[in-house]
Amino acid sequence: KKSTLNPNAKEFNPSKTLLSVNK
Partner 1 sequence: QEPLTASMLAAAPPQEQKQMLGERLYPLIHSLHPSMAGKITGMLLEIDNSELLLMLESPESLHSKIEEAVAVLQVHQISEASHKSN
Binding mask 1-23 for partner 1 (x = CB under 8 A): --xxxxxxxxxxxxx--x-----
**Nearest approach, Cβ of residue 23 and partner 1 (Å):** 13
Count of helix runs (H) and strand runs (E) in the chain: 1, 0
**Nearest approach, Cβ of residue 8 and partner 1 (Å):** 8
Q: Which residues contact 23 (CB under 8 A, 6 or more apart)?
A: 16
Count the residues of the shown chain that bind partner 1, applying the rule CB under 8 A: 14
Distance CA 20, CA 6 (A): 28
Interface residue list for partner 1 (CB under 8 A): 3-15, 18
